[in-house]
Amino acid sequence: MARSLRRAFLMLALLAVTAQARAESPASAAEPRAQQGAAERSLEDEVRARDDRIDDLERKVDVLVDELSHLRTQVAVPEEPELVSAYGLGPAASKIYGVERGLSLGGYGEANYTNAVDGGGTDRADFLRLVTYLGYKFSESIIFNAEIEYEHATTGSTATSGSGEVSVEFAALDFFWKEALNARTGLVLLPMGFINEVHEPPFFFGVQRPETERRIIPSTWRENGAGIFGRLREDLEYRAYVVTGFNAAGFSSSGIRGGRQQGNRAVAEDLAFVGRLDWTPAEAWLLGGSLYAGDSGQTGLPDARLVMWDLHAQYRSGPWQARALFAMNRLSDAGDLSRALGLAPGSPVAEQMLGGYGELAYDVWPLLTGSEAKYLAPFVRVEYVDPQNQVPSGFSRDGNKRFWLGTVGLSYKPHPNVVLKLEYRQFAPDEGDIPNEIGLGMGFAF
Domain limits for position 321: 95-445
The verdict on 100 and 34 lying in the same domain is no
Tell me how far apart the alpha carbons of residues 149 and 105 are, in angstroms, rounded to a whole number: 14
pLDDT given for residue 71 in this prediction: 57
CA distances from 387 to 253, 353, 390 (A): 7, 4, 8
The verdict on 58 and 178 lying in the same domain is no
pTM: 0.83
pLDDT given for residue 48 in this prediction: 74
In this prediction, the residues of the chain whose per-residue pLDDT falls under 50 are: 2, 5, 10, 17, 19, 21, 23-30, 76-77
| Domains identified in the chain, total number | 2
In a domain, 85, yes or no: no
Mind listing the pLDDT tens digit for each residue in 174-231?
999 999 999 999 999 999 999 999 999 999 999 999 999 999 999 999 999 999 999 9
Tell me how far apart the alpha carbons of residues 348 and 384 are, in angstroms, rounded to a whole number: 20
pLDDT given for residue 24 in this prediction: 47
The verdict on 248 and 317 lying in the same domain is yes
In a domain, 82, yes or no: no
The verdict on 218 and 344 lying in the same domain is yes
Domain boundary among 26, 43, 76: 76
CA atoms in the 13 A half-sphere facing the CB of 377: 26
